[in-house]
Structure 1
Amino acid sequence: MSHSPSLPRLKRVPPGWWVGMGWYAGILLTFLVRVRLPGENEPSVRTGMLLYRWDGLLMQMLAAALAAAGCFLLERRPLKALALVLSAATLATFPLSVGEIPLAQFLAADVALYFIAATRSRRIAFFALLMALGTLTGFLAVRLLAGWVVGTSSELVVALTAVVAWLVGGSAYETRRHGESLAARAAEQALVEERLRIAREMHDTVAHSLGIIALQAGAAARVVHTRPDAAREAMSAVETAGRETLSGLRRMLVALRQADPAHEGADRGAAALRPAEGLADVERLARATTAAGVRVDVDLRGEPRPLPPDIDLSAFRIIQESVTNVVRHAATGSCRVSIVYGSEALAIEVADRGRGAGLASRPGFGLIGMRERVALLHGEFTAAPHPAGGFRVTARLPVPATPLMGDEA
């Protein structure tokens, strides 16, 4: 059973925790810049008169409670959570005796704004940005109306950090959406390819056997009264072809169900009892087709060797479908199958002397399936009337140079 990969450690931390860490980092920075650190003659920022009084400390504790509530609600109610964090930043600013909301107090709001822009819709993210900028603007407006000094330049820097956080979050949102779109497209493409693969296997498994069954059944019907023994032999061939078709269909269904853990063990055993077809079955295919009335001559050249399963199966299916087309369309009594084992490729040719010209003008699913099989293996495929008459199918399948595991053993 496959397991999905675990998330990176940073991804496991909930967004509310990041906002909380941003809040407490800002509080720490607020107090650090108001004390004389080593190497300084005096603190960087003058301490406000209310900061260390009981009312200033009470405001800081209330602000921390509001920020904690915002962190708790961030994933469920993002706009309400941001409103609480912005309120906490504003409340924590009053005891500092400054003319603007400092960056340290607004750091948690920037983090919350980033997560909202990265995970929510564009409309919600835009409202969140308006809330952040509106809070900064409202703070300055209240101080101006009261006749107090304001730090407009410093507040513009804080507003710029909010815009940057919003833009970075929006970029993360678009990247995630693009990744999801690519994943969905890849899944859809994989589904289409799987359907085509199943259609090819179904066509190749059934079409040949049905052609043989039709020929044998027709022969049995013609001689059932005059030659009962021949009719019985033909019907026995029909039974054999039918059983082989059912076996092939069962093997395909077993392969399709192997993703089900409940049936994986039984299906694997069934698949082991019925190995996939390959070039080793060409002689059996030739005998069955010859018995049905169309002689198949097999010409084998080169040194036969084990092939990768996908190449072996595809080569057999191409020969099977080509012979089936000869039986159904060529109106001839024989065909020739050539298999050439080369050092770098496997060459296949199926040729007949029947009336194959009509088939090329109206290609069916068989030719399409063969062409797709060869394309998936990066090979070459042709199917066209032969200049001397009849029809010829050729395929060249590249064979990897690396030895198979069975050869090494």
Structure 2
Amino acid sequence: MLRAGRARRGPWSTPLGVVLLLLATSIALPLARWGDSALVLALIPAAVAGYLAGRHMVGLVPAVITFSVVLAVSLPVSYLIPGSAPLGDWMASVLIALLTVVAPWWFGRYRMLRDEQRESDAAILADRAQSEERARIADDLHDTIGHELALIAVQAGALELGRDLSPEQRERFRELREAAVRASGRLRDVVRMTRPEDGPSRLDPLGGEGIDALVAGARDAGMSVEARIDHAVVSAADPLIAELAVRTVREGLTNAARHAPGAPVVIGVARGEAGDVTVSISSAASTEAGAQGSGHGIPSLRRRAELLGGSIDAGPQREGGFELRLRAPMRPETLARTPLSAEDPALRSNARAARRRVWQATIVPAVILGLTLVGFVVVQAVTFAQTALTSEVYESIELGTTRAELAPLLPAGTPGPVPIVFEPPRPDGSECEYFAARDGWLHFTDATYRLCFDEGVLVEKTLLGEA
């Protein structure tokens, strides 16, 4: 659930987020070139802009495209900005962008995705709570109204057999009994539609009718009921267990009235050998045809008993008839309502979706790093091909060789050495050319070869910046 008063603000439009990321990321190259100036103050607004864009910008692809375009364009732009180390400046700008804009953006997006997951989890919880409430209503309908309808059918059946009734009266009682049976069937249909087949039950005790009231009501309806009830056990039991015992007796009487009309019923409530509560409802075999049940009551009762640490057994007896038996502890061993947790399938699926989206956001820095490496490799390869001279070629060059003879061996070269390389005075009247002293495109050094020509003839060759 989101904390009260801390609701997440609405998402930004994609153009607004893209513009903000463009402005924030574009400051990286000037910072890399003139980082010792007042431009350093732009780090804070750039980081804030990146975080806010990640926090409120829903689209991931536009952000990836924005970062990639800015960093890709900054490479050729770095050669246009005045300076002498464009590649180094571009690499520094990529690092600044990653730390200043992309990292805050990723953190903001992570928080946005976490909030979305919490909102989605809250919706799942609300749906499940509503489902549980429907399940509770379905259980109550089945247990209470179904029981009353069964008793009405029994009473109508008993009256139908009266000897002093006219045929018309018997027909009316028969219609009443059939109406009660039809109403019970419609109730089962409503319960089936209202309650999920595997939905959990609420355990809140309903109160109201006790076992004595149920027995009295069944007898008044014409059922033959023998009750042996240890009231001390029911009084000493936890209210949830006592309510479970009441529900068990009600279910047993309802089943007896519905499936074995006219058969005697024996109810027993006592303390078991292990100190637990035992409830049994047994009915003898009936010679009359009973109504067909829905099979909902006993499974629902069994789930309720298992949640409280008890068990329900139901089945035919050896000598005929049917028995429903409850065994439950005096105190509930668990009050679990099958709460939603990390093991819930809906929440697990929601968490997987959130993790997938977080990983997708994590790909953005990885993509930028990958593009940076690819760009660096390309630049290094081009630089080596256009400006570098290997030590082997340098050693093979001899003084007195003409420039025309050396042309096949020499690349285009560079206008001058890097600023950090100390350069001795040139020979008088000579013109010098400079070449990067590298033996491969992954050979990183600031050393430079200087070749000086006087009227097209090599008069000096020097290694600048040699350690």
Tell me the TM-score normalised to structure 1 length: 0.58
Partner residue in 1 for 2:46: 109
- RMSD value, Cα: 4.3
| 1:318 counterpart residue number | 248
What's 2:228 paired with?
A: 299
Q: Do the aligned partners of 1:117 and 1:166 also contact (CA within 8 Å) in 2? A: yes
The equivalent position to 1:202 in structure 2, one of 141, 145, 162, is 141
* Structure 2: gaps (5+ residues): 181-205, 334-467
Residue among 262, 265, 269 paired with 1:339:
269
CA distance in 2, matches of 1:209, 1:115: 62
Distance 1:139 1:294, change over 3 A: same
Alpha carbons of 1:302 and 1:289: their partners in 2 closer, same or farther (altered >3 Å)? closer
Tell me which of the two structures has the higher relative contact order, counting C-alpha pairs closer than 8 angstroms and 6 or more residues apart: 2
**Partner secondary structure for residue 303 of structure 1:** helix
Identity in percent:
25
Residue of structure 1 in register with 2:215 after alignment:
286
Q: 1:277, 1:316 within 8 Å by CA — same for their partners in 2? A: no
Could you say which structure has the larger radius of gyration? 2
Which consecutive segments of 4 or more residues in structure 1 shift more than 6 A?
91-97, 99-103
**What 5-or-longer segments of structure 1 have no aligned partner?**
16-73, 242-274, 403-409
Alpha-carbon distance, 1:108 to partner: 2.9
Q: Which amino acid aligns with 1:294?
A: M
AA partner of residue 228 (structure 2): D
Q: What TM-score, normalized by structure 2, do the two folds share?
A: 0.52
C-alpha contact 2:271 2:277 (8 A) present in aligned 1: yes
* 2:19 maps to 1:83: yes
AA paired with 1:110? A
Question: CA separation in 2, counterparts of 1:157 and 1:93?
Answer: 10
- Deviation string for 1:14-41 (max 9, x for gaps)? 98xxxxxxxxxxxxxxxxxxxxxxxxxx
SS at match of 1:223: coil
Aligned residue number for residue 343 of structure 2: none
Distance (whole Å) between structure 2 residues aligned to residue 340 and residue 297 of structure 1: 14
State the 1:139 CA deviation. Answer: 4.4
Larger helix percent:
1
- The CA distance in 1 between the partners of 2:24 and 2:116, in whole Å, is 32
- Counterpart residue identity of residue 320, structure 2: G
Q: Within 5 A, what are the aligned runs for 1:169-248?
A: 169-223=108-162, 225-226=164-165
Q: Are residue 387 (structure 1) and residue 323 (structure 2) matched?
A: no
Q: Are 1:131 and 2:66 matched, yes or no?
A: yes
Distance in 2 of aligned mates of 1:98 and 1:182:
48
| Superposed displacement of residue 400, structure 1 | 2.3
Q: Which amino acid aligns with 2:224?
A: R
- Are the counterparts in 2 of residues 117 and 173 from structure 1 also a CA contact under 8 Å? yes
Residue 159 (structure 1) aligned to one of 93, 97, 100: 97
Q: Letter of the aligned partner of 2:123 in structure 1?
A: A
Does the 8 A contact of 1:89 with 1:105 survive in 2? no
Matched residue SS, 1:388:
coil
Question: How many residues were matched structurally?
Answer: 292
* Cα deviations by residue, 1:190-218 (Å, 9 ceiling, x for unpaired): 22222121111001111111111122223
Q: What's the counterpart of residue 98 of structure 1?
A: 34
Structure 1's 396 and 109: CA in aligned 2 closer, same or farther, altered over 3 A?
farther
Alignment CA distance shift 1:91-1:293 (3 Å)? closer
